[in-house]
Every structure is written in structure tokens, then in C-alpha cells.
């Protein structure tokens, strides 16, 4: 019997039906990109309202595409952290309602762990532990040591903007649409990545696994509007392409330097990556090159599993197999402070642990 997984942490409304052998029977994603495009970024209030409108049709579509009945569902899983509070609440309310009506277990899973679990979906047993995990998305840029699917030890991450946020802001400065990542990637194909030597802060600092992207964003800003200038410069198409390519190269180099350092520190032989920015071809190519250089297994999921989706909610099977289900007091944990989440979850632990089945 399959489970239903929901994902509403940010601006994609997604539902998937997944069988116990992690077979994805259906995966539906309703993107809100068009709604946020004119603001060049996600507007939380618009996102939660759109989730309310879309969540039921998306669930219905996932169930019918999987060719099952609701009654066939064994559990309902929902991403409860981290994310936008209003968005998270919509998914949680839907999951609680369906689990309650069907009288099946409810599972609250971690969106970040799920991004990395996408590698398990795509590569099966090739994802061995311990592994280095890289999550690079619009909201997060972090490195982990993965000791198991649910056991993530944070090694470091951005001290300011997420790398995807930097892509989105750079795109906005260059007058491109939203989301900015794919737009920068497209423009960069005709640009020279060495036209500008943009900063790679912390990249050469081998003492820490932290990253920083706000300086890179500012450097692009100064090219578009030099300090003290009153207005933006009018850039030629080639100048814009060179800026996009040089920006992308700096972002990729910054990420690669820290994945390399994480491999040295942890001595792991496997790297699992996930998050929207790992859909970027330049980053994928650089990761593959690093994998060959370090002779490690580099697991990069297919595009549809990089950006937000509910198929990666397959991680809920790990919860179920460990008897970790939630009671109806399950709540959302917005924000990205994993330390605070851990405390909140410890308090919740007893209630998350399902009673052992009677023998």
C-alpha cells in the first residue's frame, strides 16, 4: 500500500503517491512561478493563498494518476520544516484532515532531508552512508554529513544569502525574469565566465565550511550601477551575458570549494546533492568533475527531483519503518534554525513515536 506525500514549504504545491519500495506512482507539481514573477521573488502571502486554492486539486490529480483509491493509502506525509509558515500550514492542515478521515498514520518530514533523499529515489542503493550532503536551493545552502536518511549533521552553510537567492537577485539586477536561476543559466551560455573576476568569499578559507553570497550579489549590483552613479547603466546584450556567466562561475566555484573541503574533512566516499540550484548545468558539470577528481560517487538527481517536488517525500517510508509517526498535535517548524528544530522535535519525540504493533 502506498503513501501520499505533500510538499508546500515554499511556492510549489506538490503531491505524490509512493509505494513501499520507493516506487513513485505519481508526482504532481503545481508551480506558482507565474504568480510571483512580477515581484521577482516569492511573496509569502500570495504563496499560501495559492496553496489553499491548489492543494485539493493537486492531491486529487496525484491519486488519480497513481490509479489508486484514497482508501488504498497507508499513511499521509507532509513536509513540516523548514519553510514559509503560511505555506507549511496549508500542507499540514490538508495532511491532518486526510489522515484523520482515513484513520491512517501521519508523518511530518524534513524538506532538507527529503531533497537529499531524492538521490535514493534516483540512484537506489548507490546512496551509501556516511555521505556528504549538499542542499543548494532558493532558501538554503548547507553542507551535511549524512549518517542515515534521517540523520543529518550540519557541517556548514551560507552565512547570509542562499545561492538560489543570489541567482534570483542577480537575475533581477540584469532585468531577467523569475525564477532567476534558469534565466541566468540561459544568458550565461553566450557570455564569458572570465569577463569579471567576482568575489568568492570564504572559498579559500579551509578552516570553515561556511559560504557567503551577499558580496557576489553586490558586485553584480556595482557593475549594473557603479557606486555614486544615479542610474543603472544600459548594458549591451553581450555585457549582460558576460555578467551572467561570470556570476554563475563565481557561485559554482564557491560551492565546489566547500564540497571539496567537506570531502577532505569527513573522508566520505559519496556525495548526495539536491535543491533547485543543482538543476544548473554548470554546477552539475563541476560537481561531476570534482567527483572524478576525488574518486567519489557523485549523486546528482534528474532535474525534476532537484526543484521542489513531493516524490522526495518518499523519505516518509524511513519514518514509518522506524515507527516514527506523528500525533495530531504535529506542528510546523518554519525558519532554518536546525538547532531550535531539534529541541522542538525532542519535545515532540515521544508523541512522534508510534505505539509498537501488538504481536
* Residue listed under C-alpha cell 484523520: 100
| Identity of the residue, 172 or 266, whose beta carbon is nearer to ligand KG4 in the bound complex | 172
Give the Cα separation of 192 and 196 in Å (integer).
8
d(CA 270, CA 127): 7
Whole-number minimum distance, CB 207 to ligand KG4, in Å? 28
The closest alpha carbon to 53, from 13, 9, 81, 93, belongs to 13
Of the candidates 277, 316, 302, 6, the one whose C-alpha atom is nearest the C-alpha of residue 134 is 277
Cell of 140: 538554503
Phi (first) and psi of residue 30, to 5 degrees: -100, 110
Stretch that binds ligand KG4, among 50-58, 60-68, 180-188, 342-350 (CB under 6 A): 180-188
CB 8 within 8 A of CB 51: yes
**Contact flag: residue 110 with ligand KG4 (CB under 6 A):** no
Residue placing its CB nearer to ligand KG4 in the complex, 210 or 308: 308
CA distance 275 to 108: 19
DSSP states along 22-39: --EEEEEEEE-HHHHGGG
Query: Residue written as cell 506525509?
Result: 77
Q: Is the CB of 75 or the CB of 135 nearer to ligand KG4?
A: 135
Binding ligand KG4 (rule: CB under 6 A), the pick from 106, 220, 279, 333 is 279
Q: Which is nearer to ligand KG4, 86 or 164 (CB)?
A: 164
Tell me how far, at minimum, the Cβ of 174 lies from ligand KG4, in Å.
Answer: 13
Residue 87 near which of ligand KG4, Zn ion, none (CB within 5-8 Å, type-dependent): none
| Binding segment (CB under 6 A) for ligand KG4, from list 15-23, 44-52, 176-184, 340-348 | 176-184
Contact call for residues 2 and 17 (beta carbons, < 8 A): yes
Among 8, 32, 137, 246, binds Zn ion (CB under 5 A): 137
Phi, psi of 211, rounded to the nearest 5 degrees: -130, 165
Single residue of 7, 110, 168, 242 touching ligand KG4 by CB under 6 A:
168
Min. distance of Cβ 275 from Zn ion in angstroms? 6
Q: Out of 7, 110, 161, 185, which residue is the one contacting ligand KG4 (CB under 6 A)? A: 185
> Which residue's CB is nearer to ligand KG4, number 55 or number 251?
251
Order of all β-strands in the sheet with 297-299: 151-157, 141-148, 131-136, 270-274, 297-299
Taking residues 133 to 152 in sequence order and writing x for each that binds ligand KG4 by CB under 6 A, - otherwise, the string is: ----xxx-------------
C-alpha count within 13 angstroms, C-beta hemisphere, residue 298: 19
CA dist 325 → 81, 82, 352 (Å)? 15, 18, 5
Q: Which is nearer to Zn ion, 168 or 308 (CB)?
A: 308
Is the distance from CB of 5 to CB of 15 less than 8 angstroms? yes
Among 144, 167, 247, 317, binds ligand KG4 (CB under 6 A): 167
- The three-class DSSP label of residue 338 is helix
Q: Considering the rule CB under 5 A, would residue 7 count as an interface residue with Zn ion? A: no
Choices 23-31, 148-156, 177-185, 323-331; region in contact with ligand KG4 by CB under 6 A: 177-185
The partner residues of 26 in beta bridges, in order of sequence, read: 17
Residues 211-270 that bind ligand KG4 (CB under 6 A): none
Among the listed residues 104, 78, 140, the one whose alpha carbon sits nearest the alpha carbon of residue 274: 140
86 binds ligand KG4 (CB under 6 A): no
308 binds Zn ion (CB under 5 A): yes
Q: Select from 86-94, 118-126, 263-271, 300-308 the region that touches Zn ion (CB under 5 A).
A: 300-308
138 binds, among Zn ion, ligand KG4, none (CB under 5 to 8 A by kind): ligand KG4
* Residues found near ligand KG4 in the complex (CB under 6 A): 10, 137-139, 164, 167-168, 179-182, 185, 275-277, 279-280, 307-308
Amino acid at each position: 500500500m502506498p503513501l501520499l506525500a505533500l510538499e508546500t514549504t515554499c511556492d510549489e504545491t506538490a503531491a505524490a503517491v509512493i509505494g513501499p519500495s520507493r516506487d513513485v506512482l505519481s508526482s504532481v507539481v503545481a508551480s506558482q512561478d507565474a504568480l510571483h514573477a512580477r515581484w521577482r521573488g516569492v511573496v509569502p502571502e500570495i504563496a499560501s493563498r495559492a496553496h489553499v486554492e491548489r492543494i485539493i486539486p493537486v492531491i486529487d490529480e496525484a491519486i488519480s494518476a497513481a490509479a489508486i483509491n484514497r482508501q488504498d493509502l497507508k499513511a499521509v506525509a507532509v513536509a513540516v520544516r523548514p519553510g514559509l509558515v503560511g505555506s507549511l500550514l496549508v500542507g499540514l492542515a490538508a495532511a491532518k484532515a486526510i489522515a484523520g478521515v482515513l484513520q491512517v498514520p501521519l508523518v511530518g518530514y524534513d524538506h532538507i532531508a527529503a531533497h537529499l533523499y531524492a538521490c535514493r529515489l534516483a540512484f537506489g542503493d548507490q546512496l551509501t552512508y556516511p555521505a556528504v550532503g549538499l542542499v543548494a536551493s532558493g532558501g538554503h545552502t548547507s553542507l551535511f554529513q549524512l549518517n542515515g536518511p534521517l540523520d543529518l549533521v550540519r557541517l556548514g552553510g551560507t552565512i547570509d544569502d542562499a545561492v538560489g537567492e543570489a541567482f534570483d537577485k542577480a537575475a533581477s539586477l540584469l532585468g531577467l525574469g523569475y525564477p532567476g536561476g534558469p534565466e541566468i543559466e540561459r544568458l550565461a551560455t553566450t557570455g564569458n565566465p572570465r569577463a569579471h573576476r567576482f568575489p568568492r568569499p570564504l572559498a579559500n578559507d579551509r578552516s570553515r565550511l561556511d559560504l557567503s553570497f551577499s558580496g557576489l550579489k553586490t558586485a553584480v549590483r556595482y557593475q549594473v550601477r557603479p557606486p555614486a552613479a544615479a542610474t543603472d547603466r544600459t548594458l549591451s546584450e553581450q555585457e549582460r551575458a558576460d555578467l551572467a556567466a561570470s556570476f554563475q562561475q563565481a557561485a559554482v566555484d564557491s560551492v565546489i570549494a566547500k564540497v571539496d573541503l567537506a570531502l577532505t574533512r569527513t573522508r566520505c566516499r559519496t556525495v548526495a546533492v539536491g535543491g533547485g540550484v543543482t538543476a544548473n548545468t554548470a554546477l552539475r558539470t563541476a560537481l561531476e568533475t570534482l567527483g572524478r577528481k576525488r574518486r567519489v560517487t557523485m549523486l546528482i538527481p534528474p532535474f525534476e527531483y532537484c526543484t521542489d517536488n513531493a516524490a522526495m517525500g518518499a523519505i516518509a517510508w524511513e519514518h514509518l519503518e522506524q515507527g516514527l509517526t506523528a500525533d495530531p498535535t504535529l506542528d510546523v517548524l518554519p525558519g532554518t534554525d536546525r538547532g531550535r528544530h531539534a529541541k522542538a522535535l525532542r519535545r515532540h519525540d515521544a508523541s512522534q513515536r508510534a505505539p509498537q504493533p501488538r504481536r
